[in-house]
Amino acid sequence: MDTMLRFFGRRKGKTIGASRERLMQELLPKIQLKLPSKGKIKMNKLFPIDTKEMWLEIGFGGGEHMAELAKMYPNVGFIGAEPFLNGVSSLLAHLNGSHRFPKDETGLEAGRVDNVRVWPDDVRLVFPHLSDGCFERIFVLYPDPWPKARHAERRFINQNNLPELYRLLSPTGCLYVATDVVGYAEWVKEQMKIFKKFSLKNKDLIQAPQDWVPTRYEQKGIQAGRQPIYFVFFKKSA
């Protein structure tokens, strides 16, 4: 793998329980994003429904946020990327309904929306396979802050990834970034200033955007007294 694409986070945590492991073996292959050997991913072939638009969540953690959005917006197609496999298994349980009703079931429950495709790895491996302007929303929520200066190049919002996020957003699309680390919020502002091609849409950074669904990390942070900082960026026209 290209050293630029080295992933520094965790791939696995504690042992995944038997029912979630079964979801990983049986449900994941059904909804895992497959990369074409050539050409771009055909978004209109990914789902059994006609999707109105596509949204991308990068680093979905336990997947609660994306699973909730997928239920709220059944006509939107979602791609979620997360290399931490315990998080992927948690998303599958949310999609399947088994986080609330543990049972030995591996298919999507009858009637459940099937509008999520999962990339259980580094999102940067998918970028070359995605067409320009394919997403209406991209979420980068509570990215790992990598607070030490010597790890700054590991921060996801950087000059390697911003051009790709810019390319992938539709002309009317929005990039959502949230953090509760003041230093990371400053970093985002600096990176955006250097990149120049995004404008900030929201004026009040501590007011959650409309219809906001908090992530698990966000909820834990609020309970611990941390203040979320929200950025909504749109593309400046070229």
Has 114 been annotated as catalytic?
no
Tokens encoding 215: 């992530």
Q: Of residues 2, 144, 204, 211, which has the active-site annotation?
A: 144
User: Binding of ligand SAM at residue 228 (CB under 6 A)?
Assistant: no
Nearest residue (CB) to ligand SAM, 73 versus 156: 156
Q: Which region among 55-63, 97-105, 188-196, 204-212 touches ligand SAM (by CB under 6 A)? A: 55-63
Segment interacting with ligand SAM (CB under 6 A) among 18-26, 44-52, 56-64, 198-206: 56-64
Q: Which is nearer to ligand SAM, 114 or 164 (CB)?
A: 164
Considering the rule CB under 6 A, would residue 77 count as an interface residue with ligand SAM?
Answer: no
Q: Which stretch binds ligand SAM (CB under 6 A): 16-24, 31-39, 58-66, 180-188?
A: 58-66
Least separation in angstroms between CB 182 and ligand SAM: 15
Q: Is 197 in the site for ligand SAM (CB under 6 A)?
A: no
What part of residues 110-149 is at the interface with ligand SAM (CB under 6 A)?
122-124, 141-144
The answer to whether the CB of 45 falls within 8 A of the CB of 11 is no
**Closer residue to ligand SAM in complex, CB, 77/83:** 83
Q: Which residues are catalytic?
A: 144
What residues line the site for ligand SAM (CB under 6 A)? 7, 9, 58-61, 81-84, 87, 122-124, 141-144, 156, 215-218
